[in-house]
Amino acid sequence: MRLRSLALSVFSSALLIGLSSSTPASAQEVRGFALDRFDPSERGSEWFVLDTLDLRGTARPAFGVVGEWAYKPLVVYDKSGSDEKELGSIVEHQLFVHVGGSITLADRIRVGANLPIAAYQTGQTLEVNGQTFRSPDSALGDLRLSADLRLVGRYGDPFTAALGASVYLPTGDRDKYTSDGNTRVQPHLMAAGDIGIFAYALKAGFNYRPLDEEFAQGKKLGSELFGAVSAGLRVANKKLLIGPELFASTVVTDEKSFFKKRTTPAEVMLGLHYTAGDFRVGAGVGTGVFAGSRGWGSPQVRTLLNLEWIPAYSDDRDGDGVPDSEDACPNEKGVRTGDPKTNGCPAAPPPPPDRDGDGVIDSEDACVDVPGVRTGDPKTNGCPADKDGDGVYDKDDACPDIPGIKTGDPKTNGCPADKDGDGVYDKEDACVDVPGVKTSDPKTNGCPPDRDKDGIVDTLDACPDQPGPSDPDPKKNGCPAARIEAGQIKIIQQVKFKTNSATIVESDTILNAVLGILKEHPEIKKIRVEGHTDNTGAAAYNKQLSQKRAASVAKWLTDHGVEKSRVVAKGWGVEKPIDTNNTEEGRANNRRVEFHIEETPDTGAPAKPAKPAKPAKPKKK
C-alpha cells in the first residue's frame, strides 16, 4: 500500500510538473480516435440506439436525419488526489448530423447506411505529461454499412430476433476524433417486442477495433463488448413511443482497460418518437451513467432530434395484395373476395350445384328448389323440417307436432280436421258438425255445453241449470213443468179454470208437478197460492174470483196430501199484471196462478232449489 501511494504521488507530481513546464516544442502530439459513442439505429426504428426490428416489406425504404449535440464528451482529469479533478475538455461541444437510409428486402433482410458529419466541434488544446491533445473542428465521420436478417417473429410480436453486422469504413479524420483511421467490424444480435402497450428492445455485440494504443493516463483503446436495452410504452393509438434507453461498452483487449472508467462509457437517455403517416419525429436527452461522465465519449449531457420518412406498411405476409388484417389465409397466396371468410384465400373449385342454397347438393336433395335440412332419409333429405310427417312443413304447420291436413288457412294448415271449427279435432269430436267445447268425456267432447244434461244445449235451454223436456216455445224449452226459482215455484203451463169459475180443469199434470216439489222439499214451511186476473169486468168481481181460484188450487194441494198449515191462498185480481191488458195474449198471461214460497226453516228465506228431474233422453243424432 505504501509503495502504491508513493507511486501515485510521484505520478501526480510528474503530471503537475509536466503541465507547468511542458512546451510545444518538447510535447508529443497525440492522435485521436472515433470518439462519438452515439451510434444511431437503422432508419425505420422507433428508438434512437435500439431497434424495433420493423423488417417488413419488399424494397421498402426509409430515410432520415438525426441531430446530436454532446457536452464534454472528452475530458482529461488530474488523478493526484483522492478525488479526480477536471483539467480540461479536449472536446467540449460536439454537434453531429447523422444522415442515413435503409431498405428492407424480402420481408426479412435489411441493408442500411449511415454517415455521421461533425458539423461543429470545439474544445481546449491541452498538454499533459508531455502529450499534446488538440481540440478538433468539423469533419466527416466513418461511413457505416449494415445488414440485418430477421430470425424469428415479426414486428409487433411479443418477441422478434435478428442477427446482423456493421462495417465502419475509415472515411473520417482521426485527428478530429471522427475515426480510428482503420476499418471497424461489429457483429450484433438484436431482439424486440410488444406486449400490449409495453415495448422493449435488446442489443449485444462485439466491436472489432484494431487500435491497440494508449490514449491517455495508461489506458489502451481496442476491441469492445457492447450492449443496450430499452423499455417504453406505446400510447396515442400506438403512434407515440416513449421510454429510456441504456447503452454501454468496455474495452476487452487489455485487462487494464476492461471495465475501467475511461474505457467503459455508459449512457442513459429518455426519448420519444411520434409517427404520423409516413413521417416520424423524435427527441431525447441523456447523460453519462458514471459520476462526472468520465468514460471517453460519454458526455455530461446529450440531446437528440430526428426526422425520418418511412412509408406506412400494410401487412401482406403472402404477397397476394390482401392485407393481413383482411386476409383469411395470411400465409397462403390467394384472391380477393367479398366474403371475409374467404378473402385472400386460394380460389376453391366450384362446389357441386345446390340450387336452393341449403347445403344439400342437388344430387342428394329431395327438395331441390326449397331450402331444407339434411336428414338421413333420401326421401326427406334437403327438405324443410316436418316433425309430424303430415306433408306440411313445420314453418307452415300450425300444428307441427300433430299430423294434420293441408288447408289454405295459416291458423289451421297442417292441423287435424275440425269441421265445426270449435278447436276439437273431428276424430275426437262427439258433435262433428256443431261447434262445442272441449270436455274430458268422449261422449260430450266438442259438443255444445248442456249444464243440466237434459239433452238441450245451453244456448237453446230456457232453464240451463234444471233439466226439462224440449218445447217449441223458446221460453219453455228445456224447462221442467215446475221448478224453484227466485223464491217461487214456477210452472210452465197455467192452471186452467172454467170461464168465470173457480173450478179447475185440465191441470192435474202441472199441479202434480207442484205437489211433487212440495213433497220433495219439506223444508218449505209455507207456500202462498196467488190468483191473478186480467182487467176484463169489474175489479171487485175479479178480485173475488181470483181469491176463489187461489183457494181452489190450495184445496187441491191439501186434498192431495199437503198439510193445510203449509198453504195459504191470496187473490189479487187485476192489481199485479205481468203483461199488457190491451191484447188477448197479454190478458191471457195476466190470468194466472203463482206459487210464492213464504217460509223456510230458521231464516224465513226461500227454499233451496228443487232437485232436478231426470232429463229427457236426447234425440239420436
340 burial via Cβ count (<10 Å: 0-12, 13-18, 19+):
exposed
- What pLDDT does 104 receive? 95
Give the pLDDT confidence of 315-341 residue by residue, as tens digits.
777 778 888 778 889 888 889 988 999
- What pLDDT does 304 receive? 97
Q: Rounded to whole angstroms, how far apart are CA atoms 354 and 365?
A: 8
- Which grid cell sits at 565? 198449515
Give the pLDDT confidence of 386-426 residue by residue, as tens digits.
878 787 888 888 888 888 888 888 888 878 877 777 778 87
Q: Rounded to whole angstroms, how far apart are CA atoms 447 and 422?
A: 9
Find which of 90-94, 343-347, 420-424 is predicted with most confidence, using mean pLDDT: 90-94
Give the pLDDT confidence of 268-327 residue by residue, as tens digits.
999 999 999 999 999 999 998 864 457 888 899 999 999 999 998 877 777 788 887 788
304: closest CA among 138, 37, 63, 96? 96
**Does the CA dihedral 474-477-482-483 come out positive or negative?**
negative
Give the pLDDT confidence of 602-611 residue by residue, as tens digits.
444 444 444 4
Helix (H) / strand (E) element for 6: namely helix 2-21
Of the ranges 168-177, 346-355, 452-461, which one carries the lowest mean pLDDT score?
Answer: 452-461
Neighbours of 36 (CB within 10 A): 24
The β-bridge relationship of strands 526-532 and 567-573 is parallel
The β-bridge relationship of strands 131-133 and 28-29 is parallel
Q: Rounded to whole angstroms, how far apart are CA atoms 32 and 593?
A: 149
Residues β-bridged to residue 224? 207, 251
Band the pLDDT of 218: cuts 50, 70, 90.
low
Q: Rounded to whole angstroms, how far apart are CA atoms 136 and 138?
A: 7
pTM passes above 0.75 = no
463-473 in b/e form (b: 16+ CB < 10 A) is bbebbbbbeee
- What pLDDT does 25 receive? 39
> Cα 454–489–485 angle (5° rounding)?
65
Contacts for 270 with CB less than 8 Å, ≥ 6 apart: 242, 243, 244, 245, 284, 285, 286
Residues in the chain: 621
Is residue 102 a contact partner of residue 112, using CB atoms and an 8 Å limit?
yes
In the chain, what are the domains?
2-309 (2.40.160.40), 324-348 (no CATH), 349-384 (no CATH), 482-599 (3.30.1330.60)
DSSP assignment letter at 335 = B
State the average pLDDT over residues 105-118: 95
pLDDT surpasses 90 at 45: yes
Q: What is the DSSP string of 199-255?
A: EEEEEEEEEB-----EEETTEE---EEEEEEEEEEEETTTTEEEEEEEEEEEE-S-T
DSSP assignment letter at 437 = B
